[in-house]
Each structure stands twice: as structure tokens, then as C-alpha cells.
Amino acid sequence: MIKTTCSNQDFFLDFLKFKFMKLLFSTLLISFVCCQVALAQPEPVNSEKFFTDESMLSVTLVSPMNKFLSNKSTKGVEVFPARFSVRFPDSTNVSEQIQVELRGHNRRENCYFPPLKLIFKKKDSSKSVLSPLKSLKLVSGCRNNSVYSQYVLKEYIAYKIYNLLTEKSFRVRLLDVNYVDSGTSKKSFKNYAFFLEDVKDMARRNNCKDWIVGRPNTEYTDRNQMLMVALFEYMIGNTDWSVPVRHNIKTIRLKDDSLASPFSVPYDFDYSGLVNTDYAVPDPMLNTVSVVERVYRGYPRTMDELNEAFKGFNSKKEEIYSLINNFKLLENNTKKSMIQYLDEFYKIIQKPNDVRAIFIQGARS
């Protein structure tokens, strides 16, 4: 009897141990699976690192393209639902619902493919990987062919050139976009495009804030930075800008110094001679035949100021040319024409008489 009782007790203890080990194993397994799920969940995008990464992103934009391709009106803001999918360099795949806003005026009326703004920010951003990007302008081709692809790539390079000259510039991120129409059975198409950094992010990394008060006088902005802007616009042959009406110019101001002069930051270079799109036309007031004809639209500076500014351009010349020549997506004839166009600028700034005639005597008054 005693042996039987002990045997029953041993059996009961073994049974309890078995149940405990099973429960422990199940708990550990659940914890492991939850941990793996948590690890698999991508971290939210860092908006600054997003634009310092030089790699091209492959993305897919699914949207009711048929609706906004046929809409040529520039009145009011129109927003469409879309899905944005992206494969990051670490092989992480992210796909989220976003909104697409039609933007622009001239291109929206005259181009097959209108300029877009992609809105990533959501009310509940806790479950969104892309929400930190807020809203970004998508710079794409006016039409879907190889010529317009080269225009997009040349404008992308124009931004990268200005990045070499100053941190107070918009960063860009190159994209290989697959456009899919969600509303029809129309075939998808692929093309190059790029994102333009959000103005608030650009201002923040320069210890500044976006300054949108009033109508700024050009000469009220930071003198040295304004000279840099005017010389760069002349360098790439762009006259499609204005500080007072903030046309293709953003102004930012130091966060901790409200009395400091604001800084001008240029963008939109598709009307420049360097890009030389077939839809770009010069301002009739400038009396030029083509956008490749340079016109200096800055105010006069002294020879000392100009020569000091030229040092920055000269010191970056080799990097600028290398940037163009090593960009594999540009066709060889495109690279050649861009280098030749920039050569003209560099020859001008080496000649004191030309400098005086163009940047002092021929400057705005």
C-alpha cells in the first residue's frame, strides 16, 4: 500500500512538471514570436537620413491617374487617395495608404503628367513608417519618354550642384517610379523622379525656421547668401525666380536671432539653361531668345565680394564636373552639353572685365 501511494504521488508530481514545462515552453514560444514580429516592424523613417542617402529608391505609386491626368484645371486643391510602396536599401519593403495632391500651374495645364505632392503624414502616425516624411513634392517628367527622363535627371543634378556650394539648399532623393492606375486596366509605366526635401526640415538642419512673413525685399536678405543664390542662378542660366513674391525661392531665418537677415533658398530649375527643357520659355521682359542665354538678376556687389564668392565656385568645380561625369543615368551627349554650358560660366568669372560688365554694371539697380 505504501509503495502504491508513493507511486501515485510520483506520477502526480511528474504530471505537474510536464504541465509546467509545457506552459513554460508555450509562453517562451509566444514571447519569441511576438519579439520577431516587433523586430520585423520597420522603424519610422528618419526624414534627414532619408535625404542624405545617395541610393536610388524603387517605388510604386498606385493612384487614380486617369482622373488627374485628364484634369487640367489649376483652380483649387484636389487630393486623391493612393498607395505608396517602397523598397529600402536594406531590403525592407513598406507599403502605405497616402494622399496625392495635384500641384503647379504651367506644367499642370500643359504637360501630360502633372506635378504631384505626396502626403504621408497621418492623424495616427504611430503605425506609419513613412509619416515622418510629412508631405513631399514629387518632381517628375512632363511627358513619359527618354527625353523628359533626361530633363528630370539634369534638374536633379542642378540641386546636387547647389548642395555642394551651400548647406542652405534643398536636398533631393532620386526615385525609379512605377506608376499604376488604380481606376482602369491601363498599363503601368516607369520613369525617373525625385523627392524634394520639406522646407521645414531643410530649415531645421540649418538651425532656422521657415520665414513666410510679408513680402521680403531682395536686398533685405542675407547679403552673402543672396550673392551665392544670384551667381548660382546665373551659372545654370535660370531667370525664373523672385525673392519678393517668393517665386521658386523660400526664405528661412535663424531660430535664435529674430533680428538676423533671412536667407534665400532657390528651387525649381527646370526652366534653366542647364536643363533646357523644350517647354521652358524666357521672360519676354528679359529680351532673350532662349533660356540658355544667361541674364544676371542679382544686385551689384563689389569686386572683392564677387571674387570671394567665386572662390567657392572655383573650389567646387572639379566636384561639380565629377558629379555630372560619374552620373551613369545621364546620356553621354547630355553630360557633354552640361559641361560645355558650365565651362562658359567658369570662363566668365576668370575675366575681370566680364565680371565688372555683367555682375556690377549689368546688375539690377
What pLDDT, in 10s, does the model give residues 293-307? Answer: 999 999 999 999 999
Same domain? 191 vs 215: no
Domain termination residue (choose one: 182, 199, 216):
199
The reported pLDDT for the residue numbered 197 is: 98
Considering only residues 113 and 194, tell me which one the structure prediction assigns the higher pLDDT: 194
* pLDDT at position 26 over 90: no
What stretches of the chain show up as alpha helix (H) in DSSP?
Answer: 2-40, 47-52, 65-69, 106-110, 146-165, 199-205, 223-235, 303-315, 317-325, 332-348, 352-356
Between 182-186, 190-194, 334-338, the lowest mean confidence (pLDDT) is in 182-186
* pLDDT at position 134 over 80: yes
The reported pLDDT for the residue numbered 37 is: 38
Q: Is 157 exposed, middle or buried (0-12, 13-18, 19+ CB in 10 A)?
A: buried
With cut-offs at 50, 70 and 90, classify the pLDDT of residue 186. Answer: low
**CA–CA distance, 6 with 319 (Å, rounded to integer):** 87
Same domain? 182 vs 211: no
- Give residue for cell 560645355: 340
SS3 151: helix
Do the domain assignments include residue 41?
Answer: no
Note down the domain range covering 342. 207-361
Same domain? 101 vs 123: yes
* pLDDT at position 173 over 90: yes
Same domain? 148 vs 293: no
Same domain? 189 vs 217: no
Do the domain assignments include residue 78?
Answer: yes
Using CA atoms, how far residue 170 sits from 7, 134, 201, 268, 271, in Å, is: 80, 15, 9, 10, 17
Give the Cβ contact number of residue 319 at 10 Å: 12
The reported pLDDT for the residue numbered 363 is: 97
Same domain? 355 vs 309: yes
Do the domain assignments include residue 303?
Answer: yes
Grid cell in block for residue 271: 526652366
With cut-offs at 50, 70 and 90, classify the pLDDT of residue 236. Answer: very high
Do the domain assignments include residue 127?
Answer: yes
Residue pair 35/67 in contact by the 8 Å Cβ criterion? no
Same domain? 300 vs 331: yes
Same domain? 343 vs 263: yes
**CA–CA distance, 136 with 115 (Å, rounded to integer):** 11
Do the domain assignments include residue 151?
Answer: yes
Same domain? 137 vs 276: no
Fill in the DSSP letter of residue 290. S
Same domain? 357 vs 247: yes
Do the domain assignments include residue 353?
Answer: yes
Domain termination residue (choose one: 144, 170, 199):
199
CA atoms within 13 A on the CB side of 45: 26
The reported pLDDT for the residue numbered 352 is: 98
Do the domain assignments include residue 235?
Answer: yes
Domain termination residue (choose one: 145, 179, 199):
199
Q: What is the pTM of this model?
A: 0.87
- What's the domain count of the chain? 2
Do the domain assignments include residue 26?
Answer: no
Same domain? 225 vs 166: no
Same domain? 170 vs 272: no
Please state the rounded mean pLDDT for residues 1-7.
Answer: 48
With cut-offs at 50, 70 and 90, classify the pLDDT of residue 32. Answer: very low
